[in-house]
Amino acid sequence: MKQINKKHLLFLIPIGILEIVMLVLECLPNGVEMVFEFPDSVSGNFISKVEYYTYFSDMPYGYGNFCPVFIGILTIVVIILWIVNLFVDKRGIDNAIFVMTILKFIFGAVGLIFSQTAINWAMFALSFVLAIYCIAKAVINKEFARTKKPQETLEKTESE
C-alpha cells in the first residue's frame, strides 16, 4: 500500500489550481499592453497606438519588456514541478517551487511598475497569494519537523 501525506496534498492542490489560473491568464491575448507613439505627418503631433500581446509573445521581449516571458516560463516550470511533487514528496522540489514563486512575484512587481494593466494587476495579486501560500507551507513544514509528530497519512488501496 502506498501512503500519501495528507498535509502535503492539502498544500499542493491550491498551489496547482493557482498556477493553472495564472497560466490561463498569461495565455490571454490582452496580457501585456504596449503603447507605440509615432509622429503624425500632417500636424506634427504624436499619435499613440495601444497593442496587446500574450505573455509568451516575443514582441514585448524585443522592445525590452523581459518580465512577461520569464513569468510565463517560470509558470510552466512550476506546473511541471507541481505535477512531479504530487507523486514524489521531496523537500528539494518544494524549495524549488518556493524560489520560482518568489522570482515570479519579483518579476510581477517589476512588470507592474513598468506597465499598469488589469492583467498585470491580476498576475501580481495571484503571485502575491501564491508567495504567501508557499511561505505558510514552509513555516508549517518547519514547525512540523520541529515537533516530530508522526505524519497523518491516507491509505490508498489498490483496485481489485
pLDDT 10s digits, 55-71? 888 888 887 778 888 88
- In the predicted model, residues of the chain with pLDDT beneath 50 are 1, 149, 151-158, 160
Q: How many CB atoms lie within 10 A of CB 73?
A: 15
Say what the pLDDT of residue 82 is: 87
What is the spatial distance between Cα 14 and Cα 134, in angstroms, rounded to a whole number? 10
Q: What angle do CA 77, 83, 85 make, to 5 degrees?
A: 100
pTM of the model: 0.74
C-alpha cell at 1: 500500500
Say what the pLDDT of residue 85 is: 85
Say what the pLDDT of residue 42 is: 83
- What residue ranges define each of the domains in the chain, with the CATH number in brackets? 2-146 (1.20.140)
Say what the pLDDT of residue 44 is: 80
In a 13 Å sphere around the CA of 24, the CA atoms on its Cβ side amount to 7
